[in-house]
Amino acid sequence: MSSRLYHTVHEIRERINLRIYDSKPFVTKFLRYLSVPLSLTAVAALIFSFGYELDTDQRLWVDFILKGTIGFYMFKYFSELFYDFSPPDYVRRTRFEFVLMCYMLANILAVNLFHIELTQSLGDWLGMKSFADLFMLVVQGYFLMFVALELGKASRLLPHLKLSPPALLVLSFGFITALGAALLMMPEMSTGGGGLPAMDAFFTSVSAVCVTGLSTIDVATVLSFKGQVVLMILIQLGGLNFITFASIFALLANPGVGTRYKSMLQSNYSVDSLESSVLLTGQIIRFSLIFEFISAALLFFSWGQRSFSTVGEQVFHSVFHSVSAFNNAGFALYTGGLADAALGTNIPLGLVIAFTIIFGGLGFSPISEVFSMQSRAYRRTRPWMHYSVNTKIAVYAVLVLVPFGTFAFYLLEQFGVLRGMLPGDQWYHAFFSSVTTRTAGFNTIDFGAVALPTLLVVILLMFIGGSSGSTAGGVKTSTFTLVFLNAVATIRGKKRVELFRQTISVELLNLALSAFLFSTSVIALGIFALTITDGHFGLARIAFEEVSAFCTVGLSTGITAQFSDAGKIILMISMLIGRIGTITLAFALTSRRKDSQDYRYPNASVQVG
């Protein structure tokens, strides 16, 4: 009987498919094109309602637009379900979307037929008064993600723009930065109600997108809750820049565009194939969310004596600092950072943030190789397979640089900022300061009070930075390692550079030397420009600020807000170049030609040294 029913249903579905076959292309294309202007209108309405205090009529209009757009998306989804040749497979592919659409449909029917709001009723049953608001926040987040995916399908037009992946990445950073600044200038973003001034808005947006942490304002007191939410979103987008801007295009349906962007992911994350780069993308998103969730959960129980007015405020503070720490941003919701009187002696909190910083700066490829179950299972069945050179460099860099910075800070500041502290507290502050100088930007002590030798050590650690393909900045540990090994090999008269029983290619060495040279040149130029615009601060403090900006660290001696407008613009440019990468920027601004290399000029004799 069941077999006969199955065949009957199958035959009915086949007849329906034949009937709708001719109209399917037109309907699906029409709905897809209509979703773009509706999505833009809905996003504009959502931003308007988020950034301005609305009167009753304005709220009604915004509510009408949002509900109308959600209704359209429901109609679009069920239309695509109907037109799909295999509806069960379509439901399996879109499980989360199907559940959400069915819930919304059931909610609409319950409200109109029985005058019962399911979300509010469920919240009352669970004893959560704000459950409806929380659910709507989740729905809005999903709505924005869905809109982003719909608009992302416009990447089919990218080949006509003739933009290289690095050029598109640069433009994407500029777009997100400008959008963030525009949002921060809206009245509801500041506690004063007037929004941030243009210079402060752009500086804060650039610093967040570049995950730096330098700020010309006190984000704890100047930004409202909405402003802090926008800041957190900008940090997340900036920290996962290669994912949000590159992998979206690599995973879209257009094969030609996908291959180009898969190639950029492949080179950036040091994987062996295009397929590996696509698989790594999903792992990056998953691992990022997992680490941030674990960190936020640990932070929730680590605030100690710090009191919050509501549980929701404690949750938000935990999530914000988790996102800021994993993305190595360094923004904190306290006037003195983690050196705030209520947090300065909270060692468990500091350790959670410190290890979150370390994992965020380790690099997505090493995280995937070390922590993914597939990778561990693969090595378990093949014990002769070792970690990649890239992963080994990332791990060994942490094992070397963190202890080095800890001991240097502890010894140099015995008669400085660490004076009078208990030995355990001294080692804690030294360890945290060593971790945070490698591009995180959090502080448990006042860096404006540290000695000059300590500042020089910090500048060195900031310059080296974190691992390639991570949320960290600096010239990257791999670049520094290759340049150092190349110098050692040259001095020892070796013709090849070898590391972990593998030979480093000449192309990689040239790329590392180029990145090192470009980075030092940009930093030197920035310091020179700042001595012209703000020379009264002194060379040491200016150099510290410039290296902190270019290496996207965010540590400051307390002079950021006192810079002139010209000085702030210089710091913003340094942050953008440092985050995008000097090599990526060079590729974006130049056209690369493949000239013939089938000839060779005579060797030149040049005196060196």
pLDDT score, position 572 = 92
pLDDT score, position 342 = 67
Higher pLDDT, residue 277 or 529 = 529
Render pLDDT for 309-360 as a digit per residue (tens, 0 to 9).
Answer: 777 788 888 999 999 988 888 888 888 778 776 676 788 888 999 999 888 8
Strand blocks (E) in 345-413: none
Q: How does DSSP assign 278-340, residue by residue?
A: HHHHHHHHHHHHHHHHHHHHHHHT--TT---SSHHHHHHHHHHHHHHHHTT----SSTTGGGS
Residue 164: pLDDT over 70: no
Say what percent of the chain tops pLDDT 90.
11
Examine residue 543 and state whether it is found in any structural domain, yes or no: yes
pLDDT score, position 256 = 44
Please state, in angstroms and as integers, the Cα–Cα distance from residue 497 to each residue in 6, 271, 392, following that order. 66, 21, 16
pLDDT score, position 555 = 85
pLDDT, average across residues 81-106:
79
How far is it, in rounded angstroms, from Cα 523 to Cα 374?
A: 41
Residue 548: pLDDT over 80: yes
Six-digit token pair at 52? 């301005």
Higher pLDDT, residue 506 or 115 = 506
Domain final residue pick, 138, 161, 184: 161
How far is it, in rounded angstroms, from Cα 176 to Cα 406?
A: 36
Examine residue 309 and state whether it is found in any structural domain, yes or no: no
Higher pLDDT, residue 334 or 607 = 334
Q: Are 280 and 271 in contact (CB under 8 A)?
A: yes
Higher pLDDT, residue 480 or 146 = 480
What is the sign of the dihedral through the CA atoms of 367, 371, 373 and 374? Answer: positive
For the entire predicted model, the pTM comes to 0.80
Examine residue 423 and state whether it is found in any structural domain, yes or no: no
pLDDT score, position 113 = 80
Residue 229: pLDDT over 80: yes
pLDDT score, position 64 = 83
Per DSSP, the three-state class of 502 is strand
Name the one residue in this structure whose structure tokens are 């777009």: 175
Question: 181: which DSSP letter?
Answer: H
Q: What end-to-end distance do the CA atoms of the chain give, in Å? A: 90
pLDDT, average across residues 214-237:
87
Examine residue 29 and state whether it is found in any structural domain, yes or no: yes
Strand blocks (E) in 93-216: none
Residue 287: pLDDT over 90: no
Residue 128: give the domain boundaries: 1-161
pLDDT score, position 270 = 46
Examine residue 252 and state whether it is found in any structural domain, yes or no: no
Query: Which long-range contacts link 506-512 to residues 24+ away (Cβ below 8 Å)?
Result: 508/482, 509/482, 511/583, 512/478, 512/479, 512/482, 512/483, 512/486
Phi-psi region of 476 (alpha: psi -120 to 50; beta: other; left: phi over 0): left
Domain final residue pick, 132, 161, 190: 161
Residue 570: pLDDT over 90: yes
Q: What is the mean pLDDT of the chain?
A: 78
- Domain count of the chain? 2
Residue 576: pLDDT over 60: yes
pLDDT, average across residues 158-176:
68
Which range among 61-65, 366-370, 574-578 shows the weakest confidence by mean pLDDT? 366-370
The partner residues of 504 in beta bridges, in order of sequence, read 497
Which range among 142-156, 265-279, 504-518, 553-567 shows the weakest confidence by mean pLDDT? 265-279
The HSE-up count of residue 438 (CA atoms within 13 Å, CB side) is 35
Residue 156: pLDDT over 70: no
408-445 residues labelled b (16+ CB within 10 A) or e (exposed): bbbebbeeebbeebeeeebbbbbbbbbbbbbbbbbbbb
Examine residue 288 and state whether it is found in any structural domain, yes or no: no
Examine residue 329 and state whether it is found in any structural domain, yes or no: no
Q: Are 394 and 366 in contact (CB under 8 A)?
A: yes
Residue 273: pLDDT over 70: no
How far is it, in rounded angstroms, from Cα 220 to Cα 344?
A: 16
Examine residue 21 and state whether it is found in any structural domain, yes or no: yes
pLDDT score, position 422 = 85
Residue 569: pLDDT over 50: yes
How far is it, in rounded angstroms, from Cα 192 to Cα 184?
A: 12
Domain final residue pick, 112, 134, 161: 161
The partner residues of 223 in beta bridges, in order of sequence, read 190
pLDDT score, position 431 = 92
Residue 34: pLDDT over 70: yes
The HSE-up count of residue 208 (CA atoms within 13 Å, CB side) is 31
How far is it, in rounded angstroms, from Cα 504 to Cα 489?
A: 11
How far is it, in rounded angstroms, from Cα 211 to Cα 554?
A: 8
Residue 9: pLDDT over 50: yes
pLDDT, average across residues 386-405:
86
What is the sign of the dihedral through the CA atoms of 153, 170, 166 and 498? Answer: negative
Per DSSP, the three-state class of 499 is strand
How far is it, in rounded angstroms, from Cα 249 to Cα 409?
A: 44
pLDDT score, position 258 = 47
Based on the number of CB atoms within 10 Å of its own CB, is 539 exposed (0-12), middle (13-18) or buried (19 or more)?
exposed
